Each structure stands twice: as structure tokens, then as C-alpha cells.
Structure 1
């Protein structure tokens, strides 16, 4: 039966996040040794595909909450272009991000810095017995394991877990914010499923654009990939304001423009969305709350949690848009469990 793996895995996010939070309590020393260790000049989060997009969210959160240098790179940049990607003579923590812990590019990246005095490695995965889990110290998302090819609850739980680790290291209000997210995720998943199912059933789009800024840029890239992987439609993602500089020429009736609205840049982002509406786009806003500034939109999905920081809310934006990919695939008659040309683990 089509979608029998992916659908419950999207729905399993509340339990996966809760298990990640509990696991962090057992890995407090990891937090102190790695993300909480101020001896590193720079922290580099690496991954491939969805894991690279997770890395972007993680790095943005790290920079803001800890006030220290961090970057996100594709894994291949480290083992093929290390000196172009990271300045020499710096003390670097390299954090490998991989659901399976078996991705060739992540493994090659970590192996390429083995033995270098200025580099230390660690990682995050869903499989403690994987090659990544055996070769370096890893955070482990206990319920992030998936049977489907596409990443859904693994992405959410690993992103949440690393952000929560950063929050604990920051020793400020962020840890309590991350704990509050656990109480919100269940309702977000339920509401997101019915909202996206209706949206797909009632509309036919021929182009899909996802926009986000800050930590939400990585999320925009991820949900763009989810739709492409599951349903084979052509879709693109951009930084929200960057979309106005040329790419907006593709917007016309039949285009879905989905904006992941931050509170920090809300006024600017909504101006972009309103402009796209004038060009004929169907505008979907994912935001904390509706207001007078959102009445122009064709659809608004409220996640609440406006009292939390943008970064702490990040994973709350995912379920709706993962379901959007799922129901688009089902409407098109393809199987989101087994995307063509794809495997769960990519090796070279």
C-alpha cells in the first residue's frame, strides 16, 4: 500500500522528540565535551542532502545562542576542499550529521581529518551501532529510526536534539523553550495533517516555491526537497528577500509560494509574500499567528508559540510541509515510501 511507511513516521514526531530530550539527559557529558567546549575556534556541522539542511539549522542556532563561530557545509567540502572551506590553523570541532550513520561522504570527511591535531570530531545519528557511531562520539536520537527512504521524524528529532544540546550548553532561557516545544508538537502534527490534506485536495499547483530566512532557510530547503523526493514535482527554495532578485520571474498563476515566517523579520517577509500574491501566486504562510498583516494570504497555518524564539520553534514548521509532500505524492499516484532513483543510505 502506498505511503504506509511514511505516513506514521511523520505522525511519530512527538514521541521521537520526547525520546531525544530524555536521551540528552543521559548524554550530558557529550554536551560539555563538544558543543559546550569553548576551546574550539570554530564548529563545523556537516551533512549530505537533508542532513546538510539540518546542519544549517544547527549552525545558525549555535551562532546565536552561544555567540561562537559555527558554519554548515556539505560533507564533500571537507574531504575534497577542506582548505577552501575552513581556514587553516584553527582549532575545529567537526560535527557529522547522518541519519543512518553510514553516509559515505560524512564518513570520508571525518576520516580525512583523523590524526590532525587541530581537528576534533563528533556526530549525531539515529543508529548508535553505525560506522559513524563507532568512529566518534555521537548524540543518538532513539526513535529517529525510519523504514521509509525520505527523512521526516529523523530530521525533526535530530534537529531538535542538537538544538536542545546547544540550549543546555548556553545556560540561558533556551533549554526551557526547547522543553516547551515538546508540549506543542502533538497538536501541530494533528492539525498539519488535516490542513495539508485539504490544501492538496482543493488545489492544483504547477510550481512550488519555499522561502525562509535565518534558521528557517535550512528548513525551506528541506521541505522543498521533501516535496521533490516524494512526488517528483519541480520545486525550488530561496532566502525570502533573495527571491525578489530575479527568481520571482517564475511566479505566475498556479504557483504555490510557501513562506516560513519568522518573528524577527516578519514585516519584511510578509512584504515579499504580498508581492508574490500580486503576481498571481497562491500564498501559504506558516507562522505563529494570523493578524491584519496576513489577511492577503490564500492560506495561513498557525503554529502558535509566539513567545518562543524563532530557533526554538524551528521543528514546529516541519510536520505540515512534510504532509504536503506526502499528500501531493498520493494525489499524483506515486509512492512516497519508495521514491525513484533514491536509497535510504547514499554511498560512493
Structure 2
């Protein structure tokens, strides 16, 4: 059995991603007026996985010269900075912090929300971009998050065709794509620019699904402390181009460096498949991570202050 065998909801959802990304092109074109326009100052918000997709998009948008873009978790968002638009990402459409923030800015800041769940509160307080075709039964987010980022990359003018091809090859390769990661006892993920968000998401995925020890850092920060936990039997996984001397620094520790010359979003699919394999080896259900639910809905007493 390969890691991509559709024996769980998560496996099925992971395997659909290449096709989802290609289909996101049409979605981006259809909703182009609802998405951030060139020159706008934009705040992008989300929680958990959605926050990391927001971080990746914000960095990409700025790197490509489309305008100032800040990524926030809703409870820390400094909305009074003169933003032209608020973009929210929420799979469930029910996350309390996201819904509360959208409600607070209604009528003051144009707001758009990307979700996969129809008939939910977030869609009622912002302009909706609904993608029910990438909704998920697994608690662990994969295809909604990556398709959202794919949609936003299409909107920035990127072509995701190669990324989808890379991801499909990884899915077809199954466990042969994992190498030392299949048995490693610790993972340090690193990124550069927009792939810092991807590294954060990769670390979260393995924590959620397989209860593994994972950390994530900007690549240049690896030397400033994280290097100390690298050792034989552990993995350093890099997204994006390596900085000079990085491979040599990892080699000294005895850890295995994993780095693929492919689109980082496709390499994240390799992490998704690894989640399935490692969860299975640990006797865990990757669809139902310990202590987690599909959405965080807070009681009024626990909700953030307005």
C-alpha cells in the first residue's frame, strides 16, 4: 500500500490537489474583482493553516510588487493601518475570531472571504468566494489550503501548471519520495520569503497528523539556535532555494537535508503524503488528530474582546 492509497478522507483529499490547483485558475478569473487589486494595501487573516497560507500569499504579493500586504491572525490584526481591503481565509466559515473581525470591519473596509463551507456566518459578513469542491471531511486541512494559495497565485499572474505536474509525480511515487523522512524522529522545516509560510504549514501538518516533533524557521535563522537540535536520524527540510553554505551546515550535524528543485507547493504535498505514512505507522487516525476539531467556535465568555 502506498501513502497515497485513498483509505482515509485525508488520502483522498491529498490526491485531488493537482486537479484542484488547475481548476482554481477559472475560480481566480471569475472572482478577480473580489480579490486584491494591484496597488491596494491589504490585510490577510486566518487561523492555523489559513494563517500560514495568508503569510505565504502576503510575501508573494509584496515580492511581485502588487502592494503592501500584511498577514495576521485575527486577534492580533492591527486593522487601523489604512488597509484598502481585508481578505479572510476560513475553511469552515465559522471560526469565531475570523467572523468577529469581519463583523467589526463591515461597512468600513471592503472585505472578501474565501471558504469551502456554504451557508456559514463568514459568508454573510464579507464578499464570498466559495469553493465547496475543495471542502474536506478530514480535520487536517490540505486541499482547501493549497487550492486557496493556488487561486491567489493564479490571480497574481502565476501559472500553476508545473506545480500541479510536480505534485502529481510525487503522489504517484508514494513512499519512495520520502527517503530518510519515513523514519526520522525530528523535523526542522525552513523557508525563504513566501516559503516561510509553507515551512510553518509543513511543521503543523506533521504535528497534527502524526504527533511528531517539528519546528520551522526562516532559513537564515537556522544557524542562530535551531542548528543545535539537528543530529543523525533527524531531518532538515528546506523549501525554496538554499542559501549559500546551508547544505554544508546541515551536513556537519549529521542530519539529513531534504530539498527538491520543484515548486514548494508541490513539495508540501510530499509532506501531506508523509503525514499519512507516519500516522499509519504510529497507529493514528490522520483524519482525527488528538484534541482537534474542524472549527474553533468560542463561547461568548471565551471570545476575543471587540
Band of TM-score, shorter chain: 0.7 to 0.9
2:304 maps to none
2:251 maps to 277
* SS of aligned partner of 2:212: coil
2:267 maps to 317
Further displaced range: 20-29 or 9-18: 20-29
Find the aligned partners of 1:17 and 1:249 in 2 and give their Cα distance: 37
The answer as to whether partners of 1:212 and 1:239 remain within 8 angstroms in 2 is: yes
The answer as to whether partners of 1:2 and 1:334 remain within 8 angstroms in 2 is: no
2:58 maps to 59
Task: Classify 1:234/1:330 alpha carbon distance in 2 versus 1 (closer, same or farther; 3 Å).
Answer: same
Matches for 1:86-125 after TM superposition, within 5 Å: 86-88=79-81, 90-116=82-108, 119-125=109-115
- The yes-or-no answer on 1:11 pairing with 2:20 is no
Find the aligned partners of 1:276 and 1:285 in 2 and give their Cα distance: 12
The answer as to whether partners of 2:177 and 2:270 remain within 8 angstroms in 1 is: no
Task: Classify 1:152/1:159 alpha carbon distance in 2 versus 1 (closer, same or farther; 3 Å).
Answer: same
* CA RMSD in angstroms, aligned pairs only: 2.3
Report deviation, 1:7. Answer: 0.6
- The yes-or-no answer on 1:210 pairing with 2:189 is yes
The answer as to whether partners of 2:116 and 2:131 remain within 8 angstroms in 1 is: yes
Q: Deviations over 1:148-193 (max 9, x none)?
A: 111111111011112222x2xxxxxxx3x42xx2355145233245
Report deviation, 1:238. Answer: 0.6
Task: Classify 1:202/1:183 alpha carbon distance in 2 versus 1 (closer, same or farther; 3 Å).
Answer: closer
Paired residues in the alignment total 294
Find the aligned partners of 2:14 and 2:208 in 1 and give their Cα distance: 15
Report deviation, 1:201. Answer: 8.3
The answer as to whether partners of 1:46 and 1:96 remain within 8 angstroms in 2 is: yes
Find the aligned partners of 1:63 and 1:202 in 2 and give their Cα distance: 33
The answer as to whether partners of 2:43 and 2:71 remain within 8 angstroms in 1 is: yes
TM-score w.r.t. length of structure 2: 0.88
- The yes-or-no answer on 1:71 pairing with 2:70 is yes
> Any unmatched runs of 5+ in structure 2?
299-306
Report deviation, 1:236. Answer: 0.5
TM-score w.r.t. length of structure 1: 0.78
Find the aligned partners of 1:340 and 1:2 in 2 and give their Cα distance: 21
Matches for 1:1-348 after TM superposition, within 5 Å: 4-31=8-35, 35-36=36-37, 38=39, 40=40, 42-78=41-77, 85-88=78-81, 90-116=82-108, 119-165=109-155, 167=156, 175=157, 177-178=158-159, 181-182=160-161, 184-192=163-171, 194=173, 196=175, 199=178, 203-262=182-241, 266-268=242-244, 271-287=245-261, 303=262, 313-348=263-298
* SS of aligned partner of 1:58: helix
Further displaced range: 97-106 or 130-139: 130-139
Further displaced range: 325-334 or 313-322: 313-322
Find the aligned partners of 1:242 and 1:95 in 2 and give their Cα distance: 29
